[in-house]
Every structure is written in structure tokens, then in C-alpha cells.
Chains A and B, each alone.
Chain A
Amino acid sequence: MLIFLGRRVLLAVPTLLGVAAIVFLLMRAVPGDVVTNLVGLEGNVSVERMAELRRMFGLDLPVHEQFGQWLAAAVQGDLGSSLRTGRPVATDLALRFPVTLQLTLSALTIALAIAVPLGVVAALHRGRWPDGLASLIALLGLSVPGFFLGILLILAFSLELRWLPPAGYVAFSEDPVENLRHMVLPALSLGLVLAAATTRIVRSSLLETLHRDYVRTARAKGVREGTVTVRHALRTALIPVVTVVGLQFGQLLGGAVIIEQVFSLPGVGRFALEGINLRDYPVVQGAVLLIAVAFVAVNLLVDVAYALIDPRVRYG
């Protein structure tokens, strides 16, 4: 197991390097730079001053030199400072990561809490009305984009019912109740969409295992149907679910951007988006690197989870 983990961590290094290099190049291939954005709408600034600012930020150096400097600092844990605000990127990421993590975990919890029961019910009643209902719900969930669902939820629960705040963020350590109140709607917007996709996987995966020989054997031995479903079939059926959820989790970490924007949550996605819009290179580099690290880490966890769920899987 340890050897396996060590090998996986080593393999992650080239992946992360590749991500960093590609983002670095992509950001510089996009026209415009931070200087034009700093100048802003009311720019009474001369072309000379803009050139001077570029020199100050080191943007006049060749791209490979810029990358080299960034990388040398990054391996020592220094992700640089925002070109706009001068704040250290690592500090800002540390502030934001918990927000994104909480949002993602809440969304995932909601998704699983809905998808597993719904998928099981659909599989057990295949072809009958509960299955049809589950399919309908899943189809609806898949068809509605998360941000649109978010706006509908704001309209219903904030503007009409006045139960929950429409947007904003309060840290859990500051006020747990307010924190949860602010997190409900964004987590639902993200979680319901994920629930729809996961329901279908749970259903099809369970249907498949229910027809396996060992399930038939269990039934033949007289094991009760409920036990067969939960202990024998569902456990195996969850393996593809874990795979997909793991991948989804990684995507959620980076893909909560729009939800964070709609609900004014100070997460990594919104930070990265702001950085991209303003061509604040160190911010984008740092945020993408963090998301990549999280993605790799989650996939590693997923592999470990296989072993826990399915006794047939062993790593050596």
C-alpha cells in the first residue's frame, strides 16, 4: 500500500508540472495583460508608463525566463503576489480554499443523500412508476444548469420566502448558523445537478450487479432480499459510483466558479476567475495549481477507497 502511494505521489509531479506549464503558456497567449486592466476605464495613462509597469512586473522578460522564475519560487512554497493588489497569492488561497472545500463537500453530501436512495429505488422497481419518476427527476436535474437553478432558488427562498440570504459568506468559525444559512442555496444548486447524474449511475450499476451469479447464489441460500441488495449487490455497485463521484469532486473544486460568482462566495473559483479576467498571472497560476493538487489528491483517495469498499481490490 505504501509503495503504491509513493508511486502515485511521484507520478503526480509531472502531471502538476505539465498543468503549470500549460496554464502559464495559455495565459500569456490570451491577448492583453494586467497592465491594460490596471489602467482601467478612465485611463489617462501614457504608453510609456504602461511599458514601465510591464518592466516592474517582469512581463518584458522572455516567457521561459518568467516561467523559470515562477517555478523556482513555487517549489519553495512561494506562489508570488497578485500583480493588482500586491497580496501574497498563497495567503489568499489559504483564505479561499476552505470556502470551496465546504461548498464542494456539502454539494457532494447532498448529491449522495439523494442519488443513492433514488437510484436504489429505481433499480429495484425497474420499469415501474418509481423508476420512471426517478428518471424524470434525474433528467430534469441534468437539463437545468446549476447557475440557473441557483437563481431560481434565490428567487424562491430569498426574495419570496425570505428564509435564506441571497448571497455572501460568513466563516464557520465566526458564526456556524450564519455560515450554514449562506451555504444552503449554493450547495443545493451544485448538489442537485450532481445528484441527477449520480442517480443514473447508481441505478444502472446496481441493475448490473443484481444479475450477477453471486447475487443469485445469495438469494438461493435464502438471504433476505434487503440484505442481498444492501450487503451484496450495492457494495459492488458503488465502485463505479465512487469513480465517477471522485472525478466529479475534482471537477466541482474547479467548476464551482459560476456558483461562487452567483452567490458571491469568496472561493478559489471566483479568485481564479477574477485573476483570468484581469490577467493577474500569479493568481491564475496559484489557483490552478491548487485545484490540480486537489484533483490529484482526490483521485488518490478514490483509489484507496476502492480497497475499502471492494475486498477483491488489493494494492501491492
Chain B
Amino acid sequence: MIRRSLIVLLFAAIAVAGTAAAQSTGGVLRAGMQADPVGLDPHITGATATRNMLENVYDTLVMFDSSLQIVPGLAESWEASDDGRTWTFTLRENAMFHDGSPVTAGDVAFSISRIKDPDVASPRGDDFAVVDSIDVPDDRTVVLNLAEPFSPLLSKLAHSLNVIVPEAVVREHGDLQEVVVGSGPFRFVEYLPQTRMVLERFDDHWATDADGNALPYLDGITFQFYPDPTSRTTAVQTGAVDWIEYVPAADVDVLDADPEVEVVGGLSANFRSVYLNVARAPFDDPHVRRAFSYAIDEQAVVDLALFGTGGVPATGTTIPASNHYGVRDSPYVGRDLEAARAEMAASSVPDGFEFDLYVTTTYDFLRTPAEVVQANLAEIGVTANIVAEDWSIYLPKALEGDFDATILGESGQSDPDDFLFNVFYTDNGGNLGNYSNPEVDVLLERGRQVSDPEERREIYLEAQRLILEDAAHVFLFHSSQYEAIRGEVRGFEHFPNTSYLGLRTTWLDR
């Protein structure tokens, strides 16, 4: 008898604990994340996980909005000199760090210098390589003096790991791995590895909405970690969390069909393509590269290899079509077997050839397209042998350019320079296929120096026309990214650059 009532008691306890407490305002968002942060110091890491959890704890000088336009951040205004080499930023009067100290021009100068500092070894040290010196005429004015005009500067400053940190705190503690002090809308409370990270509303944050209400709306955010994609999907379906990141492509339709859950997202700022190694025959022959571009069906790659939801077919080069600088009418869109065969006939290998298509097994979206590519190429008499290896073996080889062809990509933010300079400029780090076209180099350099958007657009469209003519890559698709939210979550906006700044305007309606 006693045993039975114990069991009843246990079930009652389970039932009570399962009912969430009712809330009327703000609310604490429970967010299901894919991975733990890789260290907490934003300047030292390049990890998206760290960025996504801390970008609302810190602020940047300028920010992206959800359409990837630059808007004021800690700087309320800025201007560039006519020669484009002197940038003056004016800080907000009411910006404060979580320890109560004001955000000063000195902190801004310290932060940019810290990212540049070779001893800090920030993966984004090169972002500000062009910054020669920084002047701080008063507490609210920062002047960046550039060695040469550099129009992507605002885009680099808006990167949400290039945040402004308090100089005094870093000097006291050496780094920001243990002590987390920012000026963002949420205060860091605690981090328990593989369990949770807790953020709490910072009441003195400078931002307000259009009606003058203080931001953020949420009382707090609790990030919980679900590395297994099925657990993450189940967690949002059962209401164990209110919001999840990285909905697996295979689950997008499942969650969309759930009346309690909404899937938001889509195109993200990145590209995936087949890199052809121009230093190796027959890929030195533009006819072969063009034949590949005509023969491969981007839509089939997305439909067959990515469940139709995992990506958006490329319509131009590395820049997504939605971007102001994107190309929307590449001649290679869709399949043109006739054109592909004509290019093959005119090439150095009219009877076809065999090559190794080198891919990684670690990321599905970089491996599964290989099979579609292989099948497409078979129809123009080319045999692709797929060689697949673990990321840690694959990457060093790929970085050294030790491949015939490989499937890889990079992420950008919104500036065209993010997508083109590293990948196509002669001898650059991301130019793994050894592509080189002096005309393209000149255009990419000029694009960095011109600031007028229309003039820049002309330059970048011309550069991309040349890149397409050379068929430097076979441009496949842009990965999509989805978040899933429960019905009670309001005001969340998806950002197409892997950023969760949308949480600043989110609230829970319970």
C-alpha cells in the first residue's frame, strides 16, 4: 500500500513539474543550441557557437540589420573623409558596460587594437590590417586612420565577434574567458559546459524600439545544448525549449507540419562550390571548366543531396542572389548538355578523362552533392572518382591545394569583398584552386577602395562576369539555415548571416 501511494506521489510530482509557470511579460527564452561555445573570449575564437551566444552580450560599433544593411551600434554616427582614409565615429552618450562603467572611445581603440594584436592571435586579425593608427580626441570620438581606402571596413566592424570590450576588465584579468563583461542587451550570468548558458536582461542597455520602449523585451535567455539533431527537434516539439537553431534539413517539413511550431529562415550568407585546381591539367583548360559548369545541375544538387530544403541553387557566383552585388543570370544556371559537350569537344580532352573528386565525410552538405556531380559528369564522358576523408585529414590537404577538384565553401556577411577577395584574388589564402586573372585582381582591389554602392556594384558585376567566363568554380548552392520557434515566441527575426541579433526584439507571449 505504501509502495503504491509512493508511485502515485511520484507521478503527481512529475505532472506538476511538467507544467510551466505562467508568465505575462518578457519571459525567459529557452533556446536549444547545437554546440557549446569554443571559449568565451569573442576576440580569440572564430567559432559561430561562441558568436551566436555572446553577440547579444556584447555590442559592435556598427551593426547589421536583418536585411544586412549597416545601422548604428555603439557608434551613433560616423563619416569617412573624401580620400576614404580617415573614418570618424561618434559614440552614444548612454552606452554602458555591465559593470556600470561607460563605453568610451578608449575601449573602442583598445578593442580594435586587441583584435589586430598578433599575440592575441585573433582569427580576424586581418580584418583591420589596413588600420594604421587610432586616435581618441575625446571620450566619445574614435578616428581610424587607414593606410589606404577600405570600403569593407564597416562590414568588418559589424562582425559580431569584432565586439567592443572593456579595457579595464581585460587588463585586470588578462582575457575574457572567465569574466564576461559586455555592453549588450543581456548580461552573462553563468555557463555550465554541455548543460547551459544563462543570460539575464541588462536594464541599462541603450537600445529602444520605434515606440521608445527599452530593449530587449526578454527577461533572459537560457541556452541549452542538444548536439544530437533529433533531440533538438524533439525538444522544441515537446516544449522543452522555445526556440532551436540549425533545424536539420530533413526535419524542416516535419516541424513545419507541427501546428505548435514555426520554422523561420532560408538563404544564408555563404557559398558552396566545386573548386577546380587550375594548376592541374586538364583543369587549366577553361573549356573543361565551362563544360563542368554547363553539365552540373544545381537544382538537382539541392533537391537530391540536400532534401530540397538544405540550400538554394546558385544563380551567379559566390555572392547570393539576394545580395545587392549578386549575379542572378549566370549562363550556367540549369543544365545545358549540348553546350557542355561542345565545350568538351573544343577542349584538350575531347574524349573525356578521369579525376578524383576530393570531399570530406564530416559535413553532409559538402559530401552528398558529390554523387550528383559524379552522375552529371558521367553524361559528358568524364569519370569523377569520389575520395572522401575525415575533416581533420581533408582540411590540411585542401588548404595546401593538394586535390584535382573539391567541394568546399566559405561564409560571408554582406560585403561583396567577403565573398570574392579571399577566394579569387591571386595567391590568397582561400584561393585553393590557384585561380589567377590579373583583370579580376585589379577589379577586386578597386572594389575595396570605392565606397559608392552603385560604382562598387559595377566593379563587382564586372569581376564576377570574368570569373564566370573563366568558370573558376562550379557554383553549386548557398546553404540555408533555419530556426524553429514555438507559437509563444514573438518578434523573432531571422538574420541571413548566421546571427541571432533577432533575439534583441523577441518576447514570449504566455
Contacts and interface: CB of A to CB of B under 8 A. Distances in A.
A30 B414 CA distance: 38
Given A87-B193, A177-B17, A266-B193, A45 B234 contact: no
Interface in B374-428: 390-393, 395-396, 399-400, 410-411, 422
Interface stretch (A1-9, A164-172, A216-224): A164-172
B224 interface: yes
Given A84-B38, A159-B238, A177-B17, A261 B228 contact: yes
A32 B390 contact: yes
A154 B47 CA distance: 31
B237 interface: yes
B2 interface: no
A27 to B, nearest CB: 12
A264 B237 CA distance: 16
Interface in A171-198: 171, 177-178, 181
Interface in B234-250: 234-235, 237-238, 240
B234 A166 contact: yes
B228 A262 contact: yes
Given A42-B410, A96-B194, A279-B392, 11 more contacts: A31-B390, A41-B411, A43-B399, A47-B400, A162-B238, A163-B18, A166-B234, A178-B17, A181-B18, A264-B225, A266-B193
A164 B14 contact: yes
Contacts of A87: 39, 177, 193
Given A37-B391, A52-B121, A84-B38, A264 B422 contact: no
17 contacts: A30-B392, A31-B393, A32-B392, A37-B392, A40-B46, A44-B430, A45-B399, A45-B429, A87-B177, A92-B193, A151-B230, A159-B238, A166-B234, A171-B195, A178-B17, A262-B231, A270-B227
Interface in A23-58: 30-33, 36-47, 49-50, 52-53, 56
Contact of B395 (A36, A151, A177, A266): A36
Interface string B6-40: 00000001100110000000000000000011111
A45 B121 CA distance: 11
Nearest to A271: B194
B123 interface: yes
B192 interface: yes
A14 interface: no
Interface string A221-232: 000000000000
Rank and list the top 8 A-B pairs by shortest CB-CB distance, nearest first. A32-B392, A266-B194, A167-B231, A166-B234, A31-B393, A85-B39, A266-B195, A264-B226
Interface of B: 13-14, 17-18, 36-40, 46-47, 121, 123, 126, 175, 177, 192-195, 224-228, 230-231, 234-235, 237-238, 240, 363, 390-393, 395-396, 399-400, 410-411, 422, 429-430
A36 B47 CA distance: 13
Given A31-B393, A52-B121, A163-B14, A169 B399 contact: no
Contacts of B234: 154, 158-159, 166-167
A167 B235 contact: yes
Contacts of A41: 363, 411
A69 B3 CA distance: 56
B20 to A, nearest CB: 12
Nearest to A155: B234
Contact of A42 (B40, B46, B230, B392): B46
Contact of B240 (A31, A42, A96, A165): A165
B450 to A, nearest CB: 23
Nearest to B17: A177
Interface residues of A, number: 54
Contacts of A249: none
B422 A44 contact: yes
A273 to B, nearest CB: 9
Nearest to B399: A47
Contacts of B121: 49, 52-53, 56
Contacts of B37: 85
A151 B240 CA distance: 16
B237 A36 contact: no
Residue of B47, B177, B235, B395 ringed by the most chain A CB atoms within 10 A = B395
A230 to B, nearest CB: 20
A181 B14 contact: yes
B237 A266 contact: no
A167 B429 contact: no
Contacts of A271: 193-194
Contacts of B126: 44
Given A84-B39, A164-B14, A181-B17, A44 B231 contact: no
A158 B238 contact: yes
A95 interface: yes
A165 B238 contact: yes
Contacts of B392: 30-33, 36-37, 279
B139 to A, nearest CB: 32
Nearest to A175: B17
B272 to A, nearest CB: 10
A87 B226 CA distance: 21
A94 B36 CA distance: 18
Contacts of B38: 38, 84-85
B13 A177 contact: yes
Contacts of A262: 228, 231
A86 interface: yes
Nearest to B408: A41
Contacts of B228: 167, 261-262, 264
A44 B429 contact: yes
A263 interface: yes
Contacts of A85: 36-40, 177, 193
A153 to B, nearest CB: 11
Contacts of B47: 40
Contacts of B235: 165-168
B422 to A, nearest CB: 5
B168 to A, nearest CB: 21
A171 B14 CA distance: 16
Contacts of B363: 41
Nearest to A169: B195
Contacts of A270: 194, 227
Contacts of A33: 392
Contacts of A261: 227-228
Nearest to A52: B121
Contact of B193 (A86, A95, A151, A181): A95
A52 B118 CA distance: 11
Contacts of A45: 123, 399, 429
Given A42-B410, A43-B395, A181-B17, A95 B192 contact: yes
Contact of B192 (A38, A166, A167, A266): A266
Interface in A104-133: none
Contacts of A154: 231, 234
Nearest to B125: A49
Contacts of A40: 46-47
Nearest to A264: B226
Contacts of A168: 195, 224, 226, 235, 240
